[in-house]
Amino acid sequence: IESTHTGADGSVTVTELDGLLPALREVTEELSPWWLRSAFVDDAGIVAFTDDLDLAFKVETHNHPSALEPFGGANTGVGGVVRDILGVSARPIACTDVLCFGPSDLPDERLPTGVLHPRRIRDGVVAGIGDYGNKLGLPTVNGAVLYHEGYIGNPLVYCGALGLLPHGSHPTRPEVGDRVVSIGGRVGRDGIHGATFSSATMDAGTVDAVGSAVQIGDPITEKGCIEVVERARDAGLYHAITDCGAGGFSSAVGEMGEDLGVEVDLAVVPLKYPGLQPWEIWLSEAQERIVMAVPPDRLEDLRSLCEDWDVELTDLGW
């Protein structure tokens, strides 16, 4: 990608950029608008809203999971972006979406082998989005739907969430001696292969090969996490926070301990069922799990807060 910049003196500078993301990042940094608080560096982007409040916004696709299991794929698509809003210390307030499907009147004989009909995908996706948001008390305030033959084999399920946070209230610097704490959902095999599956080729055998990558949503657990994170933020109970997205603890703990180092004990991680291997525990994603760096003298305060909201807390190490 070539970026062309014309200076005030009429001079033209052409810069070659390797890919769309670096191009977007460079232009954003160059413009550096006053209202931009954070972009490309955290779980969600943050912009100014009022003198005292900022807005966090996150969107992502959940296409492959929704093609295999429309309700569950879209359900956890909402859960994932809500979790990312929590990852920047914001309280989620609304959802949005853009949905693209194959033609709803597509004749059955034109449907590829192993592919669900666009009507079935559409109905399941819409129900999944509504179900997760309703159980969190989050309205879907806008969206769009497009029908096109290019989406017969794989729909576009673009989920988004919006959150509010007081300006300057998102701590991002873990300190030496902080405890690594996990709150929220337990670990299961349904959270494995999500990242690799998202870019895999879709064919008739996909559901048998990686069907377990479609996670099982648990909005009630995430609702508890929302209440805990907001109160923990306001009480200053953590020094850093991140979501347990693709890669599970391996990415969340790895990011948090990037500069200081970290030691965790996977044997204490609560599981949905017995029999998981250490690598499965380490890699499993969850829509409803948050990792925090907690000062040792505030750990019991956080534990008490989690008990108030029936949210499971695990001290993983330091």
Same domain, 41 and 26: no
pTM to 2 decimals?
0.86
pLDDT tens digits, one per residue of 30-86 = 888 999 999 998 999 999 999 999 999 999 999 999 999 999 999 999 999 999 999
Per the CB < 8 A criterion, the answer to whether 199 and 266 are in contact is no
Same domain, 106 and 196: no
**What is the mean predicted confidence (pLDDT) over 159-174?**
96
The answer to whether residues 157 and 26 belong to one domain is no
Q: Are residues 50 and 177 in the same domain?
A: no
Q: Give residues with Cβ within 8 angstroms of 207, minimum separation 6.
A: 68, 114
Question: What pLDDT, in 10s, does the model give residues 279-300?
Answer: 999 999 888 999 999 999 999 9
Q: What Rg, from alpha-carbon coordinates, does the chain have? A: 21
Claim to verify: residue 9 and residue 46 sit in the same structural domain: no
Same domain, 40 and 90: yes
Structural domain that includes position 103: 36-170
Angle at which helices 219-235 and 70-86 cross, to 10°: 0
Which one of 170, 201, 235 terminates a domain?
170
Give whole-number Cα distances, 48 to 33, 57, 229, 252, 283, in Å.
10, 11, 21, 26, 34
Mean pLDDT within 294-309: 98
Query: pLDDT at residue 195 above 80?
Result: no
Average pLDDT value for the chain? 90
Q: What is the pLDDT of residue 35?
A: 96
Q: What are the residue ranges of helices labelled H in 171-315?
A: 194-197, 206-210, 219-235, 249-256, 278-283, 299-308
Q: How far is CA 273 from the centre of its chain?
A: 24
Q: Are 134 and 224 members of one domain? A: no
Same domain, 238 and 149: no
pLDDT at 18: 76
CA 236 to chain centre: 23
Domains in the chain: how many in total? Answer: 3
Q: Read off the tokens for 199.
A: 């870019």
How many residues are listed for the chain in this entry?
Answer: 318
Looking at the structure, do residues 23 and 84 belong to the same domain, yes or no? no
Let me know whether 61 and 144 are in one domain. Answer: yes
Q: Let me know: does 252 contact 244? Beta carbons within 8 Å.
A: yes
User: Residue 33 and residue 42: Cα distance in Å, rounded?
Assistant: 18
Say how many Å lie between the first and final Cα of the chain, rounded: 43
Q: Kindly state whether residues 262 and 215 are assigned to the same domain.
A: yes
CATH number of residue 203's parent domain: 3.90.650.10
